[in-house]
Structure 1
Amino acid sequence: MKFQLTTLLLPSLLPHVRASPRNTCSLNLLFSPPYCPLFEQHLPPSQRYHRNVRESNRSSNTSASNTAQPEQLWTSDPFCISEFCVWTDTYFASDRGISIIATRNLAEGVAKSEGYQSARRTRTSSAESQTSPKYEVKALPGRGFGLVANHTLIRGDGVISESPVILAQHDIEDLLGEREIAVLHRVAVERLPQRSRADAAALHGYGGKGSAYDRFSANAFKVYDFAGVFPMVARINHDCRPNAHFHFDKKSFTHRIHAIRTIEPGEEITISYLSHYLTSDERAHRTTSQWGFECSCRLCHAAREDINNSDNRLSRIQSIEAFFLEERQDEITANPAMAEELIQLYKEERLGAPISRAYGYAAKQHALVGDKAKARMYANHALDAAKLWAGPWSKEVAHIYALLAGL
Structure 2
Amino acid sequence: MAVPAWTEQAIPGKDVGLLAARPIRRGERIMARTAAIMIDGAAVDGLPVAAFAGLLHDAAKSLPEPHRAQFFNLSTSYGVDDYDSGENDAYKIFATNAFRTGIADGLPDLHSVFRDVSRINHGCQPNCAYFFDPVTLAHNIFAVVDIMQGEELTVGYIDPIQTHAERKAKVHRHWGFNCTCARCAQPPRLVAESDDRVRSILSLLGTLDDYTTAAGSNGTGPAAAELLVLLFELEGLQGRIHEAEYRLALEWNGVGDGLRATQAARRCLDRGLLVRGAEQPFISNMRILVADPTSHWSWKFRLGKKENDKTDEKKGK
**Whole-Å separation in 1 of the counterparts to 2:213 and 2:133:** 33
For residues 131 and 254 of structure 1, do their structure 2 counterparts lie closer, same or farther at Cα, with a shift above 3 Å needed? Answer: farther
1:312 and 2:196 aligned: yes
Question: Counterpart in 2 of 1:366?
Answer: 252
5+ long unaligned stretches in structure 1 = 1-129
1:197 to 54, 68, 74: 68
In structure 2, the partner of 1:233 is 117
CA deviation vs aligned residue, 1:202-241 (integer Å, no higher than 9, x gap): 1111359961011011000010111100010000011100
Paired residues for 1:2-401 under 5 Å: 132-206=3-77, 211-224=89-102, 225-328=109-212, 335-401=221-287
Deviation readout 1:144-184 (Å, 9 max, x if unpaired): 11111111111101101100010112232432111101111
Are the aligned partners of 2:57 and 2:88 in contact in 1 as well (CA < 8 Å)?
A: no
> Across the two proteins, how many residue pairs are aligned to each other?
278
Measured against aligned partners, the alpha-carbon deviations of 1:357-390 in whole angstroms (never above 9, x if no partner) come to 1111111111122211111111101111111231
- CA separation in 2, counterparts of 1:210 and 1:242? 31
Deviations 1:42-87 (A, max 9, x none): xxxxxxxxxxxxxxxxxxxxxxxxxxxxxxxxxxxxxxxxxxxxxx
Give the alignment's TM-score, normalised by structure 1. 0.65
Are the counterparts in 1 of residues 78 and 95 from structure 2 also a CA contact under 8 Å?
A: no
Q: Is the 8 A contact 1:245 1:259 kept in 2?
A: yes
Flag the structure with larger Rg: 1
Q: Determine if contact 2:78/2:174 at 8 Å carries over to the other structure.
A: no
SS of match in other structure, 2:100: strand
Q: Relative to 1, partners in 2 of residues 1:350 and 1:332: Cα closer, same or farther, differing over 3 Å?
A: closer
Aligned equivalent of 2:305: none
CA distance in 1, matches of 2:11, 2:37: 26
Name structure 2 gaps, 5 residues minimum.
80-86, 103-108, 294-317
Aligned partners of 1:368 and 1:162: how far apart in 2? 40
- Which segment is superposed worse, 273-282 or 200-209? 200-209
Change (3 A) 1:331 1:242: closer
Percent sequence identity is 31
The one-letter amino acid of 1:216's match is F
CA contact (8 A) 2:160 2:167 kept: no
Contact map agreement 1:258 1:388 (CA 8 A) in 2? yes
Deviation at 1:266, TM superposition (A): 0.9
Root mean square deviation, CA, Å: 1.9
Shift of 1:132: 4.5
If the length of structure 2 is used for normalisation, what is the TM-score? 0.83
CA contact (8 A) 2:129 2:142 kept: yes
Q: Cα gap change, 1:197/1:131 in structure 2, threshold over 3 Å: closer, same or farther?
A: farther
* Secondary structure in 2 matching 1:138: strand
Q: Secondary structure at the match of 1:203?
A: coil
